[in-house]
Chain A
Amino acid sequence: MLFAFSLPPLLILAIDMTFYGGFKGIDTGVSFTRFANATLTAYTLCSLFLLGNLFFYGESRNRPWAPLVGMIMATAFGILATVFFLGQGSMLLENNGSVRAQAIYNIVHMFVSSGAVLLAVSVALGVTFSAITSQKQRTDFELEEE
């Protein structure tokens, strides 16, 4: 299943290697920068979302402070790591002049990517279930029907 998931990009790589004799259009430096920015932003935003979930977890535990503080620290670590790495010169800056501009760009970029991911998941799930439910209804009791 994992292979099936990664098949389309692998096929494109194979086609590129066959017809162009190499990895056309891949700039490893830019790709790494995007990967690092996406990782840091996804970690921070997802931690913030899970921090909100801890509030509901606390309802069944007399609202303990320990896990909340732990998760706040984990989220703060993500924010600090983002600011620290963005501040290391041009390593993670993508056509942006300052740390703040890059951070805001990362967040907006993440929302657009998440929108694309959600839409793709909706399309794939929707088509799968419509394909399943549009088939003729099956029965396991053929003898009873007769």
Chain B
Amino acid sequence: MAGIGFVWLAGMHWWVLTPQLAPNEVNPYWYVFWPTFILLTSCLASCSAVTLLMIGVERKAESNTMFIVSGLSFAVLLLGLNVDGPLVRGDEFREHLWLAVSDLAGIAVGSLLSILVFALVIYLYERSLPEPKTITPPTESELKQVSSLIASHLGGEEE
């Protein structure tokens, strides 16, 4: 199914399936989606392959599978950069590929900033809360009473 999906997406670049707003006018959001998806798939598959090798035990076969996925995605990227489709030219794809890199970096920075602010807000609030009330330690007589109670419930008659 994933393979069919990839072939379909490739058909949207190099065949007649390219999404269009008007005849011969490519939907601008296709230029956003396609490079972002294919680049990130290649990056994540490569990262996953190395992670399997570094963390996993005897995961060489699985790691090779991920390297193949990463390599295939990268090959599609290179094809997109060098082979023109009926409506999408390689130069346009290259331009949007680097915009996708900027976009992904921006999303990562923005999301991390908001998560940091969120953590800071919770940290400041939790720090401003008063300390929870602590109870006084048990007195000597209370300790004796507890130890006698425990002693009466432990052990058993010797046979």
A 113-141 binary contact with B (CB < 8 Å = 1; else 0): 11111011101111110011001001000
A104 at the interface (CB under 8 A from B): no
Bound complex: CA of A32 vs CA of B109, how far in Å?
Answer: 13
Total number of A residues with any Cβ neighbor in B under 8 Å? 63
A143: which B residues are within 8 A, CB to CB?
none
Bound complex: CA of A40 vs CA of B42, how far in Å?
Answer: 26
- The answer to whether B122 and A67 have CB atoms under 8 Å apart is yes
B117: which A residues are within 8 A, CB to CB?
47, 71, 74
With A25-B98, A74-B121 known as contacts, the answer to whether A127 contacts B109 (CB < 8 A) is: no
A80: which B residues are within 8 A, CB to CB?
none
B52 at the interface (CB under 8 A from A): yes
Residue of A nearest to B103 (CB): A38
Helix, strand, loop or mixed for chain A's interface? helix
Residue of A nearest to B45 (CB): A124
Could you tell me which residues of chain B, from 44 to 78, have a CB within 8 Å of some CB in chain A? 44-52, 54, 58-59, 61-62, 65-66, 69-70, 73-74, 77-78
6 nearest A-B pairs in the assembled complex, by CB-CB distance:
A38-B106, A42-B110, A124-B44, A25-B94, A120-B40, A4-B50
Residues of B with Cβ closer than 8 Å to A? Answer: 2, 29, 32-34, 36-37, 39-52, 54, 58-59, 61-62, 65-66, 69-70, 73-74, 77-78, 81, 91, 94-95, 97-111, 113-115, 117-118, 121-122, 124-125, 128
Residues of A with Cβ closer than 8 Å to B? Answer: 1, 4-9, 11-12, 15, 24-27, 30-32, 34-44, 46-47, 50, 53-54, 57, 64, 66-67, 70-71, 74, 78, 108-110, 112-117, 119-121, 123-128, 131-132, 135, 138
